[in-house]
Structure 1
Amino acid sequence: MVATPLSPSHHPLAEDIYRLEAGEALLKDSPDHLLEVVGILASYGIVLDAYSKNLIYMGDYQFLVFFDFFKYCNGEITLAKLLRHWWGDRINYEYAEYTARGMMWHGGGGLDDYLDTPDFRATVDRLVRKKFKFNPAIRLVHRVFGDFTVEHMRYMAYLSGLGQFWRVMSDIFTSLSDRYDRGEVRSLAEVVQHIQDGLVADAARPIVYSVTVRGETFDLLPRSAGLTFLPDTAIPYVEAIFFRGTPFLGTVSYNAQAGQIPSEQAAFAYGALNADPLPTRTAGVPPTLLMQDMRHYVPDYLHELYRKTLRGEGDLLVKICRSFQKSMFCVTTAAIRGLAPHPLETTDPEQQRANRQYLEGWMDKIAPTRIAFANAGCPAPS
């Protein structure tokens, strides 16, 4: 029996499908795109390192601390550090918390499922009784409003889970920058392959979370739960943060009568791949804080590219936002390739058809994003 050759795709993003099947990225390859993506990921890797450490610190030491004034100090509380914090001369850890809340709200994956189990609730109950053994007021609150403390610890688990996820991504982006500096990365396809290799290498990395109170350890996310990096943090992160996101305060109305926000959570399209590059500098638009953090670590070669544009660095945060969005299309490409049912380079017709169906499903998600804007005016690689 002769296998039927793969027919052309009729999907509106067929060109993007063909590019993925050819081993390329969603973002078209060009020297400027390569420089932008690697440069912004180099900066992002440094920021994620700080975010990861703080989230893990909060999960380990700020659990059941209801007035956590010093949660961003990572356990080092000095007058000089507090003055820098109040002055704003610091990493904006608020963005990391914003992201964790977004993941928790959208849910998905084994982490979200486990936090709804009786085992998790029972562990939280034992933890609260141990921590507040000599505090009858909190024990009474826990007895009457048990969901309050359980929800608090769910959030702590998400802080730790996201911190562990970002730990891996920070290392991937930092090593990518090092390889680029050594001349080992010369195309976006190689960028995507580097990220994909990193995702695959840590796919089965356990996601665990334990806290200790007066010598007793409480396994809130035990190893026996079988939670791992790729299915339980990476994939939910892509869905919640890259695609769905949350509406930015100050840019749309939350008034139900205004009808500016979809009534169905699954219809949200405010993620990193959908967002307009609009750093408004207003409180309540956390992505602006991420751009402000990354601007401190932008490599010189990327600064030089920005200076050559019409406005120079006058709209630096907007430029960083655009570069960041382009880089996230490359990260998404790596995830798409890594999760494909068969290697995208396969020559087996049946596997090619299965991959085609898989890619068309992804393109339904990609279609509403800003991929066309990211690729607009991009010259063909020489």
Structure 2
Amino acid sequence: RHWWHDRINFEYAEYCMRSMLWHGGGGLDSHLDTDEFEQRCAEAIQAKFKSNPLMLGMNKLFPEFLPEQVRMLAYTSGLGQFWRVMSDIFMSLSQGYDEGEIKSIPQVVDHIKAGLVAAANKPITYAPQIGAQRYEIIPESVGLTFLSDTGVPYVEAIFFRGTPFLGTVSLNAQAYQISPDQTRFTYGALYADPLPIGGAGIPPTLLMQDMRHYLPKYLSDFFMRSHRGEIDLRVKICQTFQKSMFCVTTAAILGLAPHPMDTTDPAELEENRAYLEYWMDRLIPSRLRAANGQMTNA
């Protein structure tokens, strides 16, 4: 079963971590470039390899190598803390659906938004234990929080920007298929075509393979009623996943709005309008229309 990938994979999680590390944004990205981080990182590296002269020697020859690995570990930890919160939100969402309390997309968005707001100021820290001592690579005193330092950068890096999957576009600079400006990237989850799922080099393939293990019966039955049945199951899971990510994005956009959506103050309405226009412009080339009409039982 293991060799046939009938197991939990983490390749997509690594893709998310590396994408966030590359695109940056938020306080986590800023902190990892500070002198404080460098000092704390150096102390942890010395403690980890104090009995390994080979690694200490390599660290002197290539002083940026091990700190970069620590940066990836810090992002992995931050991403895990972000997903821990999101997991609780989604589990309570599923329970609400099972109990008949959540019956519409607006209710889904409201539930996610409430969860994001409730956890907005949850501290993000990273303190690995080396031997008998913990080394605070990212102490709570840095002031990193869930929403602004992991949630917003995650939405930006994974939902919007992303990175081009190997084999789907040419990496030849002369082909001009990839923008030289990262801010113009549109390879994220909101823009991705679900059809390549299952192909080589497509990181979400293994994510859909993972989610296949945890489909609730009502959703599995819905998929099986289509005329293709299980043949394109991963593609259908991806379509459902993409639609849910639009719900998360909507919740994040509404939660970060400068003023309440039901405000009647003209000045606040104008600010909200300008804020929403920015996000709507970014959603125009996404698969929002397809997501709204694709989940038909055909």
Q: What TM-score do the two structures reach when normalised by structure 2?
A: 0.95
CA distance in 2, matches of 1:264, 1:130: 39
Which amino acid in 1 is paired with 2:169?
Answer: V
Bigger CA drift: 170-179 or 256-265? 256-265
Kindly indicate whether structure 1 or structure 2 has the higher relative contact order, using CA contacts under 8 Å at least 6 residues apart: 1
1:123 to 34, 40, 55: 40
**Offset at residue 352 of structure 1 (A):** 1.3
Structure whose CA Rg is larger: 1
What SS does structure 1 have at the residue aligned with 2:164?
A: coil
CA shift in 2, pair 1:120/1:305, >3 Å: same
Q: How does 1:123-202 map to 2 (within 5 A)?
A: 123-202=40-119
What SS does structure 1 have at the residue aligned with 2:136?
A: strand
State the 4+ residue runs in structure 1 displaced beyond 6 angstroms. none
CA distance in 1, matches of 2:28, 2:241: 27
The count of residues paired between Structure 1 and Structure 2 equals: 296
Q: Which residue of 2 is the match for residue 96 of structure 1? A: 13
**Offset at residue 135 of structure 1 (A):** 1.6
Bigger CA drift: 270-279 or 257-266? 257-266
CA distance in 2, matches of 1:351, 1:229: 26
What SS does structure 2 have at the residue aligned with 1:219?
A: coil
Q: What TM-score do the two structures reach when normalised by structure 1?
A: 0.75
Q: Does 1:349 align with 2:263?
A: no
**Offset at residue 347 of structure 1 (A):** 2.0
CA shift in 2, pair 1:146/1:259, >3 Å: same
Segments of structure 1 that go 5 or more residues without pairing to the other structure are: 1-83
CA distance in 1, matches of 2:57, 2:25: 32
2:23 to 102, 106, 112: 106
Q: Which residue of 1 is the match for residue 254 of structure 2? A: 337
Q: Is the 8 A contact 1:250 1:282 kept in 2?
A: no
1:257 to 165, 174, 177: 174
Question: CA offsets per residue over residues 236-259 of structure 1, 9 Å max, x none?
Answer: 000000000011112122122222
Bigger CA drift: 154-163 or 361-370? 361-370
CA distance in 1, matches of 2:107, 2:260: 16
CA distance in 2, matches of 1:377, 1:243: 20
**Offset at residue 85 of structure 1 (A):** 3.6
Q: Is the 8 A contact 1:111 1:233 kept in 2?
A: yes
2:211 to 276, 290, 294: 294
What SS does structure 2 have at the residue aligned with 1:246?
A: coil
**Offset at residue 310 of structure 1 (A):** 3.6
Question: CA offsets per residue over residues 238-282 of structure 1, 9 Å max, x none?
Answer: 000000001111212212222221121111110000000124423
CA distance in 2, matches of 1:209, 1:134: 24
